[in-house]
Amino acid sequence: MESGAICVHSNMVEDKENVANGEQVSKKGAKKLAKAAKKAEQKAETATAIAANNAAGDSAEDSALGRYGLSEMIQSKDKRSERNFVAVHELSSHLEKGLLWVRGRVHTSRSKGKQCFLILRQQSSTVQCILAVGDIISKQMVKFAGNIPKESIIDIQAKPVSVPNKIESCTEQTLELCVEQIFVISQAKAQLPLQIEDASRPENADDDGLNIRVNQDTRLDNRVLDLRTPANQAIFRLEAGVCRLFRDILTEQGFTEIHTPKIISAASEGGANVFTVSYFKDSAYLAQSPQLYKQMAIAADFDKVYTVGAVFRAEDSNTHRHLTEFVGLDLEMAFKYHYHEVLHTIGNTFTAIFKGLRDNYSREIESVGQQYKVDAFKFLEPPLILQFSEGVAMLREAGVETGDEEDLSTPNEKLLGRLVKAKYDTDFYILDKFPLAIRPFYTMPDPSNSTYSNSYDMFMRGEEILSGAQRIHDPEYLIERAKHHGIDTTKIAAYIESFRYGCPPHAGGGIGMERVVMLYLGLDNIRKTSMFPRDPKRLTP
What is the set of active-site residues?
313, 315, 321-322, 464, 467, 515
Stretch that binds its own copies, among 165-173, 376-384, 403-411, 533-541 (CB under 8 A): 533-541
Considering the rule CB under 8 A, would residue 310 count as an interface residue with its own copies?
Answer: yes
Considering the rule CB under 8 A, would residue 322 count as an interface residue with its own copies?
Answer: no
291 or 324, CB closer to its own copies? 324
Overall residue count recorded for the chain in this entry: 541
Residues near 319 by Cβ (< 8 Å), separated by ≥ 6? none
User: What count of other Cβ atoms lies within 10 Å of the Cβ of residue 525?
Assistant: 13
Q: How far apart are CA 237 and CA 536, in angstroms?
A: 26
Considering the rule CB under 8 A, would residue 344 count as an interface residue with its own copies?
Answer: no
Interface residues for its own copies in 261-280 (CB under 8 A)? 261-265, 275-280
340 or 355, CB closer to its own copies? 340
511: helix, coil or strand?
strand
Contact pick of 23, 151, 176, 180 for its own copies (by CB under 8 A): 151
Q: How far apart are CA 372 and CA 230, in angstroms?
A: 11
49 or 133, CB closer to its own copies? 49
Stretch that binds its own copies, among 50-58, 108-116, 132-140, 309-317 (CB under 8 A): 309-317
Interface residues for its own copies in 64-93 (CB under 8 A)? 73-80, 83, 85
Q: How far is CA 297 from the centre of its chain?
A: 30
28 or 336, CB closer to its own copies? 336
CA atoms within 13 A on the CB side of 147: 13
Stretch that binds its own copies, among 5-13, 179-187, 356-364, 399-407 (CB under 8 A): 179-187
Contact pick of 103, 322, 358, 421 for its own copies (by CB under 8 A): 103
Helical segments of 21-122, H only = 30-43
The least distance separating its own copies from the CB of residue 398, rounded to whole angstroms, comes to 30
DSSP assignments along 241-285, one per residue: HHHHHHHHHHHHTT-EE----SEESS-TTTTTT--EEEETTEEEE
The least distance separating its own copies from the CB of residue 208, rounded to whole angstroms, comes to 30
CA distances from 267 to 273, 283, 285, 286, 297 (A): 9, 11, 6, 8, 19
CA distances from 459 to 89, 363, 433, 467 (A): 37, 25, 14, 9
User: What count of other Cβ atoms lies within 10 Å of the Cβ of residue 416?
Assistant: 24
Contact pick of 41, 180, 325, 427 for its own copies (by CB under 8 A): 325
Interface residues for its own copies in 117-136 (CB under 8 A)? 122-123
Q: In which element (H, E) is residue 20 found?
A: helix 16-20
The least distance separating its own copies from the CB of residue 417, rounded to whole angstroms, comes to 26
59 or 218, CB closer to its own copies? 218
Interface residues for its own copies in 215-254 (CB under 8 A)? 223-228, 232-233, 236-237, 239-240, 243-244, 247, 251
Please say whether the beta carbons of 103 and 120 come within 8 A.
Answer: no
The least distance separating its own copies from the CB of residue 191, rounded to whole angstroms, comes to 10
Q: How many residues bind its own copies (CB under 8 A)?
A: 108
27 or 336, CB closer to its own copies? 336
The least distance separating its own copies from the CB of residue 484, rounded to whole angstroms, comes to 16
Q: How far apart are CA 107 and CA 212, in angstroms?
A: 17
Q: In what order do the strands lie in the sheet with 463-471?
A: 256-257, 304-312, 325-334, 506-512, 463-471, 455-460, 428-432, 384-387
340 or 414, CB closer to its own copies? 340
The least distance separating its own copies from the CB of residue 539, rounded to whole angstroms, comes to 4
Dihedral Cα 343, 348, 353, 357, nearest 10 deg: 140
User: What count of other Cβ atoms lies within 10 Å of the Cβ of residue 100?
Assistant: 19
Interface residues for its own copies in 449-508 (CB under 8 A)? 454, 470, 473-474, 477, 494, 498-505
Please say whether the beta carbons of 491 and 285 come within 8 A.
Answer: no
73 or 376, CB closer to its own copies? 73
The least distance separating its own copies from the CB of residue 457, rounded to whole angstroms, comes to 17
Contact pick of 99, 136, 156, 308 for its own copies (by CB under 8 A): 308
Contact pick of 445, 508, 510, 512 for its own copies (by CB under 8 A): 445
85 or 488, CB closer to its own copies? 85
Considering the rule CB under 8 A, would residue 297 count as an interface residue with its own copies?
Answer: yes
Interface residues for its own copies in 358-417 (CB under 8 A)? none
Contact pick of 183, 312, 354, 520 for its own copies (by CB under 8 A): 312
Considering the rule CB under 8 A, would residue 185 count as an interface residue with its own copies?
Answer: yes
The least distance separating its own copies from the CB of residue 393, rounded to whole angstroms, comes to 23
94 or 414, CB closer to its own copies? 94
Dihedral Cα 288, 293, 295, 301, nearest 10 deg: -160
Q: How far apart are CA 141 and CA 138, in angstroms?
A: 5
Please say whether the beta carbons of 496 and 475 come within 8 A.
Answer: yes
Residues near 503 by Cβ (< 8 Å), separated by ≥ 6? 295, 298, 299, 473
Contact pick of 113, 208, 336, 376 for its own copies (by CB under 8 A): 336
Considering the rule CB under 8 A, would residue 317 count as an interface residue with its own copies?
Answer: no
Please say whether the beta carbons of 465 and 511 come within 8 A.
Answer: yes
